Structure 1
């Protein structure tokens, strides 16, 4: 099927705006402005936007322009929409399609983007479809809709603001504050640092758009001051000292370096002149990873990009704090770090086998169960060690694991790991949505059992060699896991005990999940049968 190019969509939108009588569309230079609007957004914006909703594109353009003024943040727009339901609870009662029904007359225009979340042709897991049907039943009872023709009245809420870490969390909190449920979400980041986030939601008790908009603005007003503003640029990193002994880097007056109040820092502080970069091997969230040498030894060098210092310095700080504390055969070995600008980097042993994700993609078929179990056991042993030392990894997935030349798997990527507080609970959201535990997604208190949930999804990743929920956007996954108890579908031919382990790891109640010492015993038991 032909997918229109960005230029084709631009031409059609411009033509429609002229035909619909929008005065600015006929003004000199408008075509260039519209072209710039599409250019700053990803290609999927053009491919997903409904071509018959040209006016909405114009609204998006204006919202992004308004977002450039900090006084306007976040820019908010609400409108009522009619969503055509393609996956109703009782499909047998719908013998005719909505388009064929003479009574089909949606009271509002459709959403701005083509919805893909609930369609009969989707190959999403059956568990999710079933739970979504239940939510549709609940929605039908509270919203103006006709089950026979599949027309449900909802609202489309659009935000535009500065693109920042954890932005989705803030926006979803605003929606939840007014009891809105996300039906679908379309998240876009511009090339110049802004965001356009479009949510189709249900749950508002009236059709009054002004009341909903005011409720959302009231929720926005409750956010802490400055939360929407862009982080101020800095020529050098600066982190305020914390009461926590692991918030370790603080600027020293009159110097370009840091004092790192740890025992015997000379044991791990590295002179950057002793490092030699050979080849870039991986990008990371806050820099690039190189293969290199240190005093003749093969090493991996994670270089922190200067332009990310302001945003990612704390991750750099914590990664050093965590890695210097641990030593285990299934944990990537920390060698040292450079903490003097401009050469901020972390040096670890070089893992020639690459990531487990890369290893999976190179295999022609599914892994033999024994190989899978050996990999899983290595990970479980490393994680058991971390948890015994009160360390929560918080981002466990195949791309966070490395293999050495002998196939031994080691846990890596400690940028978002944390030492658990004495009270045993944490609340900050972090990690990757597809692997994230529901209590983390919901900003609830969480502990080490959040890693166990991620490990369960990781086991499924090893079993299938697929990305979890690959046909869904990360935000759709978050909504499904949190609100509908969405889980990946376990292949029917999986080993029964292995299937049981997956289901045990991703139970909704963290207290019902095993710890890694129990997981290790189960894996060994299954290995003895293979």
Structure 2
């Protein structure tokens, strides 16, 4: 028997888990009756490939061409542009699959040939599409009568220099705009889809209305072909994720508290303006040349609805709140959960659930209440804050204004004790100013 994967398209993980348990009863579970289930052989086919638009449609058609009957499809995408597509199909009462592999390889080659003959989305329609979406969003600024927009970048003043990063849908460059050093996020024009345009317009809409010293500052956007881009201030010291995991940097307690306070202030500002980030993680926390940490990347951020609840699976599994993983309604407290995981990462210098795949971590967080292990010698107030941030019940989590108060209080105590709990000892960190200039 091949039970369906206990994760994926179903809005209720628990129901899938129960269904799987009917096939694999726990020892001593007399209620499960596997004999009553009819025997139905299945096969699971997994495609691992570079993510691209309409990939699921193409793979579904491909399997249908081979003559397979699909029972379930589960799609998982990574932040760096890869896709895992898992299909559960009606099987046959033996395990021989060599002929199937050969048939699939032939169909894949045929599919690739057909794709190469198709032309990409015409670039001319892109600008109008974005403008239409941004203007139709509630609360958007008026467009001046001359047809230009106050946030539209004059490309003659924009100089693109070296590439500093790359994602699945965009590349990040360093450059200058009117002699100011900037970061330029350019959409990959050959991959433009309706969904990407929607995220692009949403990001512009959100970023142009926010201004806070702990949120990366939006400068403008290009919505005219051939380059669709978002221009922001340049954050010279890069991401906290890179500092921890690539440069192997370690945050001592005063430094950690300073970073956490900066992030909390940025997030508190966003929440006060009804903006839910939805993908808060150390990769989206950037540091400028003055060691100020700012919240970045609003590609999947949303303005909270009137009802105060939202549904959709978005974000990155290792940092994602259980209610988001389960496709349940959620609100701004989902960001608080993600903040707790990021804070633990600052504390330990480790990747959350490093011994699990992102998918395994997500399932364990929901079904088993899994959380990272807090080190024994953690400051007790900080340990208590972590546990409150990642409570299963969102109502039990603090909001960011309370988190700021708690962190500032711990920072004062640590400063009085000399930086690491011992009186008279200097913090000895390049983040020596814990509170100075960050109230």
TM-score normalised by L of structure 2:
0.68
TM-aligned CA deviation for residue 308 of structure 1: 2.4
Q: Which residue number in structure 2 is paired with residue 379 of structure 1?
A: 263
TM-aligned CA deviation for residue 336 of structure 1: 0.5
- SS of the aligned residue for 1:328 comes to coil
Distance 1:481 1:295, change over 3 A: same
For the 8 Å contact 1:397–1:454, the answer to whether it is kept is yes
Distance 1:471 1:249, change over 3 A: farther
Q: Which residue number in structure 2 is paired with residue 420 of structure 1?
A: 304
**Alpha-carbon displacement from aligned partner over 1:338-379 (angstroms, at most 9, x marks no partner):** 100111101111110111112223665631101000000000
Q: Distance in 1 between matches of 2:152 and 2:168?
A: 23
- Is 2:44 the partner of 1:158? yes
Match of 1:470 among 347, 354, 374: 354
Q: Distance in 2 between matches of 1:290 and 1:441?
A: 32
Match of 1:527 among 411, 415, 423: 411
- SS of the aligned residue for 1:343 comes to coil
For the 8 Å contact 1:241–1:249, the answer to whether it is kept is no
Q: Which residue number in structure 1 is paired with residue 183 of structure 2?
A: 300
- SS of the aligned residue for 2:149 comes to helix
For the 8 Å contact 2:126–2:225, the answer to whether it is kept is no
Match of 2:314 among 420, 430, 436: 430
For the 8 Å contact 2:75–2:83, the answer to whether it is kept is no
- Is 2:150 the partner of 1:267? yes
Match of 1:139 among 26, 35, 39: 26
**Alpha-carbon displacement from aligned partner over 1:152-178 (angstroms, at most 9, x marks no partner):** x9986525689668999xxxxxxxxxx
For the 8 Å contact 1:249–1:317, the answer to whether it is kept is no
TM-aligned CA deviation for residue 413 of structure 1: 0.4
For the 8 Å contact 1:292–1:299, the answer to whether it is kept is yes
Q: Which residue number in structure 1 is paired with residue 277 of structure 2?
A: 393
Q: Which residue number in structure 2 is paired with residue 234 of structure 1?
A: 121
Q: Which residue number in structure 1 is paired with residue 380 of structure 2?
A: 496
Q: Which residue number in structure 2 is paired with residue 72 of structure 1?
A: none
Distance 1:303 1:273, change over 3 A: same
Q: How does 1:75-224 map to 2 (within 5 A)?
A: 80=2, 139-140=26-27, 141=29, 142=32, 158-159=44-45, 195-197=84-86
Q: Which residue number in structure 1 is paired with residue 417 of structure 2?
A: none
Q: Distance in 2 between matches of 1:155 and 1:478?
A: 27
Match of 1:283 among 152, 166, 176: 166
Which runs of 5 or more structure 2 residues have no equivalent in the other structure? Answer: 5-20, 57-70, 94-114, 415-439
Q: Which residue number in structure 2 is paired with residue 248 of structure 1?
A: 134
Q: Which residue number in structure 1 is paired with residue 326 of structure 2?
A: 442
Q: Distance in 2 between matches of 1:422 and 1:428?
A: 16
For the 8 Å contact 2:127–2:225, the answer to whether it is kept is no
Which runs of 5 or more structure 1 residues have no equivalent in the other structure? Answer: 1-78, 82-110, 112-134, 146-152, 169-179, 200-207, 210-229, 251-259
For the 8 Å contact 1:160–1:194, the answer to whether it is kept is no
Distance 1:143 1:355, change over 3 A: farther
Q: Distance in 2 between matches of 1:498 and 1:246?
A: 46
**Alpha-carbon displacement from aligned partner over 1:415-443 (angstroms, at most 9, x marks no partner):** 00010011111101110011001111111
Q: Point out which structure has higher relative CO (alpha carbons under 8 A, 6+ apart).
A: 2
Distance 1:241 1:482, change over 3 A: farther
Aligned residues: CA RMSD: 4.0
Q: Distance in 2 between matches of 1:498 and 1:401?
A: 20
- SS of the aligned residue for 1:521 comes to helix
- SS of the aligned residue for 1:336 comes to strand
TM-score normalised by L of structure 1:
0.57
Q: Distance in 1 between matches of 2:341 and 2:40?
A: 32
**Alpha-carbon displacement from aligned partner over 1:133-159 (angstroms, at most 9, x marks no partner):** xx99963323769xxxxxxx9986525
Q: Distance in 2 between matches of 1:444 and 1:275?
A: 43
- Is 2:211 the partner of 1:327? yes
Q: Distance in 2 between matches of 1:521 and 1:356?
A: 22
